[in-house]
Amino acid sequence: MPKKLTINNLKKCFHEASYQGKKYVSVLVQMEGFPKPEVIINENANFDTKFAYYEKVYDENLVLKSFSGVKIIGFTHGDSFPSLAEDLM
């Protein structure tokens, strides 16, 4: 997981996962009013479309453009759910 949480590093994560043939990219999202973050798992077939969505709706610092109470606080890629969880938690 990149140390600096920016849209450019999220893009690198998706690119790296695609290049390496990883099965998943996982994103950890903190939402105002919720005690724990949400884990989103994106499958390889959706990488391009999903990153285009993130780029459209999140700013450079990974805060949702339409509501500052939602922020991406982590991301990683891997081939299994346990490996994603280990990287994010």
pLDDT digits (tens, 9 = 90+) for 48-89: 999 999 999 999 999 999 999 999 999 999 999 999 999 988
Task: Note the pLDDT tens digit of each residue in 3-26.
Answer: 699 999 999 999 999 999 999 999
* 2 pLDDT more than 50: no
CA distance 74 to 87: 9
Task: Look up residue 16 and give its two tokens.
Answer: 């790296």
- How many residues comprise the chain? 89
Smallest CA-to-CA distance from 72 within 46, 37, 42, 43 is with 37
Task: Look up residue 45 and give its two tokens.
Answer: 């077939």
Question: Which residues make Cβ contacts (< 8 Å) with residue 67, sequence separation at least 6?
Answer: none
Sort strands 24-31 and 70-78 into parallel, antiparallel or unpaired.
antiparallel
Task: Look up residue 5 and give its two tokens.
Answer: 């949480």
Q: Residue 37: enclosing H or E segment and its boundaries?
A: none
**For the chain, domain boundaries:** 7-88
Q: How large is the average pLDDT for residues 32-58?
A: 96
